Amino acid sequence: MRLVVARCSVDYTGRLTAHLPLAPRLLIIKADGSVLVHSDGGSYKPLNWMSPPCTLSTSRRGDEEAAGDPEGEWIEQWDVIHDKSGDRLRVRLHEIFEDSSHELGIDPGLQKDGVEAHLQALLAENIDTLGEGWSLVRREYFTAIGPVDILARDENGGSVAIEIKRRGEIDGVEQLTRYLELLNRDPLLAPVRGIFAAQAIKPQARVLATDRGIDCVTLDYDALRGIDDAESRLF
């Protein structure tokens, strides 16, 4: 991972056009190819970013006859181009304050606690809740970008990746989409379909999941724990 603190300007062109005027910012280049632009505010979200797969190239001010930047001369330029969409993130560094690189290695993954961890354990123990003849392959099935909550087999023996959230939002659908893309490269598992499971799923997340061929399942925490018989309730 490379961390750069610099006074920079940023331009994004592609499906939309966005500009960040000259200001001090934190720039992160991750080992997976991601490039993120952060300010000192705005919580955890980057101001702009490019997700992999993408290609990054750098040039110095002296490599061109003129910078043509109305915000003044720059000393280094990053051009990050997405390999599939062609979207471009251009970062111009006018002054570099800090520049360091660190090898973080493979992350062991998030150790979940609380309701999501309980839901995962309960659904793994009661995998037939999803259908008769279903079987558990394993919990926390490892991938290069993190563990899938549950990998299971359906009644036909097909592979199913299940992502579990307390509250189902678009970010969770995006996360499962990335897992499915990797899992479907494995000939021993493919084809792998996805299930997005949560106690409550936002309508926008459900629409996105459906559009991507991902099934949505609403989990009843008490029913999985065996303290509520959903079939005996009037409502």
Residue extents of the structural domains in the chain:
2-101, 115-232
Please compute the mean of the pLDDT values over residues 184-194 and round it to a whole number.
94
Looking at 27-36, 49-58, 72-81, 223-232, which range is the least confident one?
223-232
Alpha-carbon distance of 64 to 84, in angstroms, equals 27
Token reading at 39: 């300010």
Are both 2-101 and 115-232 of the same fold?
no
The CATH number assigned to the domain with range 115-232 reads: 3.40.1350.10
- Tokens encoding 133: 């003849």
What pLDDT does 226 receive? 66
- When pLDDT is averaged across residues 104-128 and rounded to a whole number, the result is 77
The CA-atom distances, in angstroms, between 222 and each of 118, 132, 139, 228, 233 are: 11, 20, 21, 5, 13
Confidence band of 55 (pLDDT split at 50, 70, 90) = very high
DSSP class of residue 191 equals S
Identify the pLDDT of residue 67.
47
Domain spanning 2-101, CATH architecture? Distorted Sandwich (2.70)
Q: How many CB atoms sit inside 10 A of residue 33's CB?
A: 16
- What is the predicted pLDDT for the residue at 28? 96
Q: Note the pLDDT tens digit of each residue in 154-174.
A: 999 999 999 999 889 999 999
Confidence at residue 72, expressed as pLDDT on a 0 to 100 scale: 72
Q: Is the pLDDT of residue 68 over 80?
A: no
Paired with 98 in beta bridges are 5
Asked whether 161 and 154 are in contact (CB, 8 A), the reply is: no
What is the per-residue pLDDT for 233?
39
Q: Apex CA 208: angle with CA 223 and CA 18, to 5°?
A: 135
Note the pLDDT of residue 111.
56
